[in-house]
């Protein structure tokens, strides 16, 4: 809820007037908790990490600016989800991402098998520096979305079905062949639609060495998508955040609420873990 909504609710229910400034001062009490949460020790190894961004409008000295909240979600060795950090920033670069990954290292992370992210500027170079053994996997969900972004409704379903032949292919060679077929079919109508697949193949292709069970964990990104749905509600409740601090408080409280139910391992984790332990021998506990 916004400070105004809280103020109005208190007056409706209790007949008690509380200014928005007062509500803001009260909610500032959670700032030390946020600091503790942001600095808490992390596990040494995470088999899979997802990095995603949600964009918000924030007021800064009377000017409204767009700010990205970068959410890092980890799957630990027990197959349980955990939000490791939320970083708000307005620029992406290798330097920025290196500082974010170094922060994870300083909090105890020694190894990550796979980092799944969209084409964030500089992320590939930062991963190679901070965690040289980590595999960077381009997020297939975003890849598909970006491909279909400018495709009209009349062709979108057919195009999406054809794209599945690529990321559902049995191996990389078959995926490449499927990609060529899709490109040949749709490029005359949508000239640049498949360019990203060709340009980013080196970070799309790691997924093809895994079974369908592991692929589902990596490319369906249900974990991060459900979390993002919670964060997107914040945009529906308010068009502009009054400050960076107000955004941080809202994100933290939303995260706390969303992760309360995260008590179980993700589906088929035993099978997924067994495959990862063979693929990345010696890097996760047997």
Q: Which of 220, 238, 256 is the last residue of a domain?
A: 220
Question: Are 246 and 112 contained in the same domain?
Answer: yes
Give me the pLDDT at residue 74, please: 95
Q: Which of 220, 245, 263 is the last residue of a domain?
A: 220
Question: Are 134 and 235 contained in the same domain?
Answer: yes
Question: Are 52 and 128 contained in the same domain?
Answer: yes
Task: List, in order, residues 6 or more apart from 164 with CB less than 8 Å away.
Answer: none
Question: Are 127 and 250 contained in the same domain?
Answer: yes
Euclidean distance between CA atoms 14 and 8, whole angstroms: 10
Q: Domain containing 153: what range?
A: 140-220
Question: Are 195 and 257 contained in the same domain?
Answer: no
Residue recorded with tokens 């803001």: 24
Euclidean distance between CA atoms 265 and 262, whole angstroms: 8
Number of domains comprising the chain: 3
Half-sphere exposure of 134 (CA within 13 A, CB side): 27
Question: Are 236 and 272 contained in the same domain?
Answer: yes
pLDDT along the chain (286 residues), means of 10: 75 80 76 92 96 86 86 94 86 86 97 92 93 94 89 94 94 96 95 92 94 84 74 78 85 87 88 94 88
Angle between helical axes of 153-167 and 172-186 (0-180°, round to 10) = 160
Question: Are 89 and 193 contained in the same domain?
Answer: no
Give me the pLDDT at residue 250, please: 87
Question: Are 150 and 195 contained in the same domain?
Answer: yes
Question: Are 129 and 227 contained in the same domain?
Answer: yes
Give me the pLDDT at residue 261, please: 82
Question: Are 46 and 130 contained in the same domain?
Answer: yes
Question: Are 51 and 184 contained in the same domain?
Answer: no
Question: Are 68 and 106 contained in the same domain?
Answer: yes
Q: How crowded is residue 64: how many other Cβ atoms within 10 Å of its Cβ?
A: 12
Give me the pLDDT at residue 103, please: 96
DSSP letters spanning 202-247: HHHGGGGGS-HHHHHHHHS-HHHHHHHHHHHHHHHH-SSBSSHHHH
Query: From the centroid of its chain, how far is CA 183?
Result: 28
């Amino acid at each position: 809820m916004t400070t105004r909504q809280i103020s109005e609710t208190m007056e409706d229910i209790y007949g008690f007037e509380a200014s928005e400034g007062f509500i803001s001062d009260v909610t500032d009490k959670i700032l030390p908790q946020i600091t503790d949460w942001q600095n808490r020790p992390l596990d040494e190894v995470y088999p899979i990490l997802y990095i995603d961004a949600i964009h918000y409008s924030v007021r800064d000295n009377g000017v409204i600016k767009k700010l990205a909240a970068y959410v890092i979600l980890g799957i630990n060795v027990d197959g349980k989800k955990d939000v490791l950090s939320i970083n708000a920033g307005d620029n992406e670069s290798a330097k920025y991402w290196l500082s974010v990954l170094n922060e994870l290292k300083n909090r105890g992370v020694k190894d990550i098998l796979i980092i799944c992210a969209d084409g964030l500027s500089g992320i590939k170079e930062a991963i190679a520096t901070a965690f040289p053994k980590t595999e960077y996997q381009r997020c297939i969900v975003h890849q598909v979305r970006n491909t279909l972004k400018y495709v009209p409704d009349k062709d979108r379903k057919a195009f999406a079905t054809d794209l599945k032949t690529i990321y559902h292919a049995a191996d990389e060679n078959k995926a490449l062949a499927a990609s060529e077929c899709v490109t040949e079919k749709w490029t005359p109508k949508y000239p640049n639609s498949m360019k990203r697949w060709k340009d980013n193949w080196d970070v799309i292709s790691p997924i093809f060495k895994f079974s369908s069970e592991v692929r589902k964990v990596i490319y369906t990104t249900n974990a991060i998508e459900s979390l993002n749905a919670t964060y997107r509600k914040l945009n529906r409740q308010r068009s502009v955040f009054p400050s960076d601090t107000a955004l941080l408080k809202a994100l933290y409280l939303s995260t706390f609420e969303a992760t309360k139910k995260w008590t179980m391992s993700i589906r088929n984790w035993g099978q997924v873990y067994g495959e990862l332990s063979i693929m990345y021998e010696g890097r996760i506990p047997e």
